[in-house]
Amino acid sequence: MTAFATTAKRMSAFKEVMRDIDADELQYEHSTLRRCSFCAVTSDAPLRQCSVCKSVRYCDHKCQLADYKAGHKRECANFVTPPLTRTFLTRPTGNKTTYPKNPLFARGSHDGVGCWVSHEGRPDVRLQAFVTDIWATPETWRKSCNARVTAYNSNRRKDKESIIVFGGRTCVVTNPGKAHDITKVKSDLEDITTYEERGGTVAALRVAQDPLCHLPRLAIKNVAGVEFRATDPPQTVLNKAQGIVYLAHGEYVVYHVQFRVGDGNTFTIDVDALVRLRALTLVWQTATDCVSWIKERGVPDVIRLKSAEAIVGPQYVGPPPPDTVVPFDVPAIYAYYLDAFRGGEQTYVESHYGKERANAIMKQNEQDRWVYSVAAQMQGIADKQAAGDIEVSDADGQAAGVPATAGNGINFYGDIPDGDSD
């Protein structure tokens, strides 16, 4: 009974922290929507936004014109800033932390279509188990882990052509080399292409397939500024399971995709997986190229009819052209996780979530480690890391019997760049 009461108390404190973080995000969104991007004057009501990029707002036409001449023309065309939405916050939202919720780890554009890439991990920076559903069985509980990537795609084509994004066909390409275990996963469910180049083997990974429903591990989060609801999807979502979305000029979509990134033996934390990724590839086509008869029937009819051709798309999309490859920014990745390298889990949580929230988050991390270790034993898995790549902690929160630890038991197998270690 005492253990249950302690667990409930920890959960209550953790939920309070999450509510506090949500309040900061709401306040940030509220103030940003009402602040002029040029003169910084605030308004009582949301201001009008740039119709193309949706990332800036102005109190009047005079400020809009002045900012356009001062540099927004270039910024808008070059995809400098993603549109503002709570599902993709690239700037700090409160005064308790200097780190954003969604750090930009990759960005790029081609032919008027841009993409920003972030990563949402656990507070303890450890990779997540591929299957954590409560109904998982020993047969479906794969000995692998995943990295969840958040992709933000925006249509800013100069010809104002509509496009169709194929989220389920997103891929990540690894850096060459054999000193990683990204491709050491079950091959019966995955579509992995490898080839050799100078420096070693390169792998292209498709979005992971769910072992239960055999669909891409993908979730649409926001479409054109509206939070996505699976029970009432917008008509522009042609296939929610495959992530096929129609984007008119100036519209965007945010979605989560998961990739299998190894069996958890060579590395177990987010940064070690992320720095081994070279780029993300975005698959999209113009609407007229994707559906041959779209000009005859018109865009509204295609969306309203939800025809089989519109839902499935072309029989063969083919590989994306080279310019749609979005490279990962390795220095930015290391910089975001630098506190974890230098001080361990406690330091990372304090700097990224705030010192006032660190105690509740650390206790919840400890509880999660205990739950996953017990689940692993119940499933009959001998290797505890296979159930979530998480070490069993002792009473002091230190990882027991694990070499090469830093801070509070985080394993750091990745190379630390010169000058980044104390």
Tokens of 330: 């390795």
Kindly state whether residues 407 and 291 are assigned to the same domain.
no
The identity of residue 1, as a single letter, is: M
Q: What total number of domains does the chain contain?
A: 3
End residue of a domain, out of 274, 294, 328 = 328
Domain boundary residue among 279, 301, 328?
Answer: 328
Q: How far is CA 260 from the centre of its chain?
A: 14
- Verify that 190 and 296 share a domain, yes or no: yes
pTM, two decimals, is 0.75
How many CA atoms lie within 13 Å of 146's alpha carbon, on the beta-carbon side? 25
Indicate if 246 and 363 belong to the same structural domain: no
Tell me, yes or no, whether 189 and 252 share the same domain.
Answer: yes
How far apart are the C-alpha atoms of 361 and 359, rounded to whole Å?
A: 6
Do 160 and 201 lie in a common domain?
yes
**Same domain as 342, residue 308:** no
Q: Please tell me whether residues 377 and 272 are part of one structural domain.
A: no
Q: Which residues contact 151 (CB under 8 A, 6 or more apart)?
A: 115, 116, 117, 167, 170, 254, 255, 256, 257, 280, 282
Q: Which of 158, 214, 173 shows the shortest CA–CA distance to 190? A: 214
Question: Does any domain span residue 274?
Answer: yes
How high is the pLDDT of residue 104? 93
Is residue 247 in a domain? yes
Last residue of a domain, one of 267, 297, 328: 328
Does residue 83 form part of some domain?
Answer: no
Domain of 261 in residue numbering reads as: 106-328
Residues 151, 220 share a domain: yes
Please tell me whether residues 162 and 46 are part of one structural domain: no
Instruction: Going residue by residue through the chain, which has 422 residues, state the pLDDT in tens, using 9 for 90 and above.
Output: 444 445 556 667 778 877 887 888 888 888 888 999 999 999 988 899 998 998 999 999 999 999 999 999 999 989 988 888 888 888 888 777 888 888 999 999 999 999 999 987 778 787 766 554 444 444 444 445 667 788 889 999 999 998 989 999 899 888 887 545 555 554 444 567 777 888 788 888 888 887 777 888 899 999 998 889 888 888 888 888 889 899 999 999 999 998 877 655 667 788 888 888 899 999 898 887 765 544 444 444 444 434 434 444 444 444 444 457 899 999 999 999 999 888 888 888 888 888 888 888 888 777 766 665 655 555 554 444 443 433 332 323 333 333 333 333 344 433 333 444 43
Tokens of 214: 């055999």
- The answer to whether residue 21 is domain-embedded is no
Does 115 fall in a domain? yes
* b/e per residue 399-416 (b: at least 16 CB within 10 A): beeeeeebbbbbbbebee
Question: Are residue 190 and residue 215 in the same domain, yes or no?
Answer: yes
- Beta partners for 150? 118, 256
Is 2 a domain residue?
no
* Residue 74 counted as domain residue: yes
In a domain, 8, yes or no: no
DSSP 38-104: TT--B-SSPPEE-TTT-S-EESSHHHHHHHIIIIIHHHHHTT-SPPPBTTB--S--SSS-SS-SS--
Do 206 and 291 belong together in one domain? Answer: yes
Q: Please report where in the chains the tokens 């292209």 appear, as a residue.
A: 204
The pLDDT of residue 167 is 92
Q: Judge if 322 and 343 occupy the same domain.
A: no
